[in-house]
Amino acid sequence: MNILVTGANGQLGRELRSFSSTSHHRFVFTDVSQAPENPVEYLDILDTEAVEAMVGREDVGLIVNCAAYTDVEKAEDEPEKAMRLNADAPAILAAAAKRKGAVLIHISTDYVFSGNGCAPLREDYPTGPASVYGKTKLAGEEAIRTSGCEYIILRTAWLYSPYGKNFVKTILGLASGRKELNVVCDQVGSPTAAADLAAAIMHIVGSGQIHKCGIYHFTDEGAISWFDLAAAICRLAGLSCEVHPCRSSQFPTKARRPAYSVLDKTLFTETFGMRPPWWFESLDRNIRRIAA
């Protein structure tokens, strides 16, 4: 099967590129941004004709959309740009998939929920995004669901990797040069290594389960606050920086973040026969990768 991957220079895309080397499927990695050290094919997923041409030319059977507008704070000032990338582009990919008879795997987020609950969120829990980012990602989900294409939507959270900008790398950088850090303790979720999400996608593909369509939740197991995560990062990296808990009100932001957005992974595990790894073990493994 020929698999088209968009957003291949992002965190998840780069992890998928590593996993693809052991797959018997043929991958076509694309991105709108080009880097000399990470060459991939150019594809603007907002260009309907270009997407249609690529899907047809490469005889694509599966599209994995890793591209998105992910700057939560900046999205409040650029709602139209966020909507184009998070909703219009998935709609274009879904339409191309339907016409070709291909399946679309799309990555969504815990931000589609309000974050006002206190128990792990199942896929059928009412959505209610409080930020522009969350609203545009939910719009993307709805565009895919109503397109008529076969799809798997994977909602994830707190993604990090050795690549790009993410919370883990930010804390490692800050803690290396400071004696103390204040990190919010009243936002609870599940950190997810991009490599683990990539492994989940490869498991779905490799086990021939791409036609089990629907919305699923996938994060690493466990529920912690950003403060807990920062403290664990410093401990695992051997940094002496002391991390202090603080309230979100001490660091006001334009975008409202979910206070509790732990995702229930039961449906994913029962459907695909794969259990997500524990967050601490993945964090340890990835900190060693970052330090290498």
Q: List active site positions.
A: 133
- Specify whether the CB–CB gap between 217 and 121 falls below 8 A: yes
- Specify whether the CB–CB gap between 5 and 13 falls below 8 A: yes
Tokens (6 digits) for 176: 């290396």
Cα separation, 168 vs 161, in Å, equals 8
Tokens (6 digits) for 151: 């799809």
Tokens (6 digits) for 251: 């660091």
- Specify whether the CB–CB gap between 143 and 191 falls below 8 A: no
SS3 159: strand
- Specify whether the CB–CB gap between 57 and 49 falls below 8 A: no
Residue showing tokens 């094919």: 41
Q: Of 37, 36, 60, 44, which is closest to residue 7 (Cα–Cα)? A: 44
- Specify whether the CB–CB gap between 105 and 215 falls below 8 A: no
How many Cβ atoms from other residues are within 10 Å of residue 165's Cβ? 10
Determine which helix (DSSP H) or strand (DSSP E) holds 262, and give its type and residue range.
none
Task: Note the Cα 22 to chain centre separation in Å.
Answer: 22
What angle do the packed helices 279-291 and 194-206 form, to 10 degrees? 110
How many Cβ atoms from other residues are within 10 Å of residue 139's Cβ? 19
Q: Of 290, 67, 285, which is closest to residue 196 (Cα–Cα)? A: 285
